[in-house]
Amino acid sequence: MIPLQAATRETFWTIGPVGKAAFYWLAAVAVLVFLYGVYARFAAYARGSADPRDRLSNLPGRVVAATKTVLANENQFDGDLYTGVMHTFVLWGFLVLLVATTILGIDIDLYRPLTGESFWVGEFYLAYQFAVDAFGLLFVVGVGMAAYRRYKTREDRLWGKHTSLEDDAFVWTLFLLGVGGFLVEGVSMVGQAQRATETVSFVGMALATGLEAAGLTAAGAEAIYGVLWWSHSLLAFAFVAWIPYAKPFHMISSFANVVARDEKAGARLPNVPADLDHTNAESLDDFTWKELMDGDACTKCGRCTDACPADTVGRNLDPRNVILDLKAYRESVSDDPVAGSGGEAMATDGGVASADGGTVPIVADEGGVVDAESMESCMSCMACMDACPVDIEHLTSFTKMNRQLVDEGAVDSNLQDVFQDVMQKGNTFGEPQSARGDWTDDLDDGVEVQDARETEVEYLWYVGDYPSFDDRNKKVARALARLFDEADVSFGVLFDDEKTDGNDIRRIGEEFLYLELAGHHVETFADCEFENVVCTDPHSYNTIKNEYPEVDFAEFADDPMMPFDREEPWNPAGEIDVFHWTQVVEELVEDGRLGLSGDELDYTVTYHDPCHLGRYNDEYEAPRELIRATGADLHEMPRSREDSFCCGGGGGGLWTEHEEDVKPSEERLREAVEDTDAGAAIEKFVVACPMCTTMFEDGRKTGDFEDEVEIVDVAELLIEAVAAGS
């Protein structure tokens, strides 16, 4: 028996001097090819336009945060335990095997030549061998799980337009590397007598036992070892060299993408410069380096498509395909030997390369890289971004293409009418601005709405278009006014100086109309005395809170088309708090200012998370606390909180018609009454967004849910509870 302190093995068993020299030469070639490929990829990103966000600020902190996210597989576990376990096994197995190979290289090529000794012996060697076998086994199991889901269960989201041979090659190469490594180990243990008691190498030992039972002798093992060892080594070298040129590059680009992420991406869109020569998505040159890197970071996992409500209801939008279509086009027209290597573009029918390398429009009704209909189908709900495990910022690129369509006048005629109404009337209804405050006329006696332009108030209430002009939502505005009055809140509105907030106008692509609206409002705010802003609509809340402070008004100060005279930014340090009304009223309820005891109502209800309140701004609890405060029995839908299913109203959906199998609002109502635990017992479908109210009232009629469930706003539920308790 070999003494514990002498335990080790011969690394290049049966491999002679010539073989060793060839091994190191091939290793050097593989590493050089790898390094050149990585350099070329990042050099290609550098040719993209400058990104308006400082994505590399506090780089050490970003790297640490990204490392934690990646190593913990946080995003992979989100909503998919199987994928989380699979990816954890593959990632940690791969990393440990990589570290183990590096340690062995340090010992052989540095430590031994310098000291004449080896640290790869004794207890360290045995611990090393156990770790390699344990994590190598996890690696093989993880790759096996991936193959099972891809080929046995044929998970739909893993297959599509951009599925190609590189996906198969990636899975099977990893599998062969893992299994091949164990096979080399097992044969080695049969042939090397000193390893007969190396039980820490439990996988290799099991294989060796099986091989011996099958008739493999020590001499036979020695005879075939070289062939197996070289096969494994050549496959490993080929894989290393291949990484930057195909799907395996996501191991690098995905990490870089997480490092460069913008935590508020989507909730705040990049501004456009005051440059007459500026274009949005006329060519690839208009895309930033981060947007280019998004394409390479995509692993084709399909989570974004699975989460997309537009795709779910049958609209012409597949978020994954949009990102990969842009990538395929970039590769097809690039003169870079890496970016244009064609692994994706040549293996799929998704590329739309042109022979002259530059005549294909990025987005168009016909013949573009991306169909205009796909962009018109987007609801700007951010479900794709929330689902993406590698922080691809779909909405940023989508908005860029929407802006291009607006620049070209290639938008839905209904949207053109909306733009005209906003430009001429200040609202999306085309109603006179003088009628904006008429909803206050039918308030109960004693409830007075102050004019914030004339009176100092604690809360400047931005009411919004739908609560101001839509008959159904006027009821919500009145309910909220009564709640504020009941709680003795000092509040006021802007009356006819309030216009459309611009959130959805911006996401449709009309950036300059958004700038006009933002400029008008911040100038109006400056003439008022208030402490905080409170919004009825989550869309208004989002853009006033996250986007108005980002506008560089000084850049447009000399533009005669901009009807504002302001150069200073508004609220850049957040000194003015901006709230959604549920956040304000939640505090009022906690303080006992509405006199609720918590048992006023006994309805069985479910609650729909608005995209702009939930995914956009991470507010999930305030509306739920208010519902519970009424005594209502709240049951969650399967898709709730960050997984909430969009009503269909965002991104211009309120104003457009689409070819779809079922309306998003109908699908959501079906979920409420069929898939929720309470099922048909659900009496009220509770919302906290005027746009959601509008869409669900429509879906309730068209989907034949009128006899099954009632649509109510949280404010309406609260005011009923207040009345019941008084």
β-bridge pairing 370-371 and 457-462 = unpaired
- pLDDT more than 90, % of the chain: 87
Bridge partners of 460, per DSSP, are 492, 533
Q: Per-residue pLDDT averaged across 122-139, rounded?
A: 95
Q: Is the pLDDT of residue 350 over 90?
A: no
Bridge partners of 710, per DSSP, are 684
Residue 461 parent element (H or E): strand 457-462
Q: Is the pLDDT of residue 356 over 70?
A: no
Q: Is the pLDDT of residue 352 over 70?
A: no
Q: Count of CB atoms within 10 A of residue 609's CB?
A: 27
Q: Per-residue pLDDT averaged across 222-231, rounded?
A: 96
- pLDDT more than 70, % of the chain: 96
Q: Is the pLDDT of residue 505 over 50?
A: yes
Q: Per-residue pLDDT averaged across 561-581, rounded?
A: 93
Distance of CA 1 to the CA centre of its chain: 57
Q: Count of CB atoms within 10 A of residue 406's CB?
A: 21
Contact 171, 87 (CB under 8 A): no
The amino acid occupying position 170 is F
DSSP state letters, 527-542: TS-EEEEEESSHHHHH
Distance CA 267, CA 182 (A): 49
pLDDT, position 718? 97
Residues in contact with 274: Cβ distance below 8 Å, sequence separation at least 6, in sequence order: 555, 556, 559
Q: Is 686 helix (H, G, I), strand (E, B) or coil?
A: strand
CA dihedral 204, 208, 209, 213 (to 10 degrees): 150
Q: What is the mean pLDDT of the chain?
A: 93
pLDDT, position 86? 96
Contact 221, 187 (CB under 8 A): yes
pLDDT, position 416? 95
Q: Is the pLDDT of residue 62 over 60?
A: yes
Distance CA 147, CA 167 (A): 11
Q: Which two tokens stand for residue 170?
A: 């990636």
Distance CA 386, CA 303 (A): 9
The string over 673-687, giving b where at least 16 C-beta atoms fall within 10 Å of a residue's C-beta and e elsewhere, is: beebebeeebbbbbb
pLDDT, position 691? 97
Distance CA 630, CA 603 (A): 9
Contact 539, 649 (CB under 8 A): no
Residue listed under structure tokens 């291949």: 242
DSSP state letters, 35-76: HHHHHHHHHHHHTSBPPSS-TTTTHHHHHHHHHHHHHHTHHH
The amino acid occupying position 60 is P
Q: What does pTM read for this prediction?
A: 0.91
pLDDT, position 345? 38
For the chain, give percent helix, strand, coil, nearest 5.
55, 5, 35
pLDDT, position 565? 87
Q: Where are the alpha helices (DSSP H) in 493-568?
A: 503-508, 511-526, 538-542
Q: Name the pLDDT band for 333 (thresholds 50, 70, 90).
A: confident
Q: Is the pLDDT of residue 133 over 80?
A: yes
pLDDT, position 343? 44
pLDDT, position 336? 59
Residue listed under structure tokens 């709230």: 579
Distance CA 147, CA 140 (A): 10
Distance CA 596, CA 716 (A): 14
Q: Is the pLDDT of residue 209 over 60?
A: yes
pLDDT, position 184? 96
Give tens-digit pLDDT for 527-550. 999 999 999 999 999 999 999 999
- What are φ and ψ of residue 604, in 5° steps? -100, 120
Distance CA 241, CA 256 (A): 19
Give tens-digit pLDDT for 623-678. 999 999 999 999 999 999 999 999 999 999 999 999 898 999 999 999 999 999 99
pLDDT, position 348? 34
β-bridge pairing 530-535 and 577-580 = parallel
Give tens-digit pLDDT for 211-225. 999 999 999 999 999
Residues, the chain: 726
pLDDT, position 339? 57
Distance CA 363, CA 327 (A): 14
pLDDT, position 335? 61
Q: Is the pLDDT of residue 349 over 60?
A: no
Q: Per-residue pLDDT averaged across 312-329, rounded?
A: 95
Give tens-digit pLDDT for 232-256. 999 999 999 999 999 999 999 999 9
Give tens-digit pLDDT for 195-205. 888 999 999 99
Q: Is the pLDDT of residue 264 over 90?
A: yes
pLDDT, position 322? 97
Q: Per-residue pLDDT averaged across 118-141, rounded?
A: 95
Distance CA 33, CA 240 (A): 8
Contact 715, 474 (CB under 8 A): no
Q: Is the pLDDT of residue 288 over 90?
A: yes
Distance CA 156, CA 80 (A): 14
Q: Where are the alpha helices (DSSP H) in 192-312?
A: 202-213, 218-242, 250-259, 289-297, 303-307, 309-312
Residue listed under structure tokens 């609260």: 718
Distance of CA 54 to the CA centre of its chain: 19
pLDDT, position 2? 57
**Which DSSP symbol is given to 693?**
H
Lowest model confidence (mean pLDDT) among 176-180, 349-353, 387-391: 349-353
Q: Name the pLDDT band for 112 (thresholds 50, 70, 90).
A: very high
Q: Name the pLDDT band for 340 (thresholds 50, 70, 90).
A: low
Tell me the CA distances in angstroms from 106 to 303, 560, 590, one per residue in order: 40, 67, 63
CA dihedral 293, 296, 297, 301 (to 10 degrees): 140
Lowest model confidence (mean pLDDT) among 2-11, 425-434, 705-714: 2-11
pLDDT, position 419? 96
Distance CA 235, CA 230 (A): 8
Q: Is the pLDDT of residue 497 over 90?
A: yes
Q: Name the pLDDT band for 591 (thresholds 50, 70, 90).
A: very high
Bridge partners of 685, per DSSP, are 606, 711
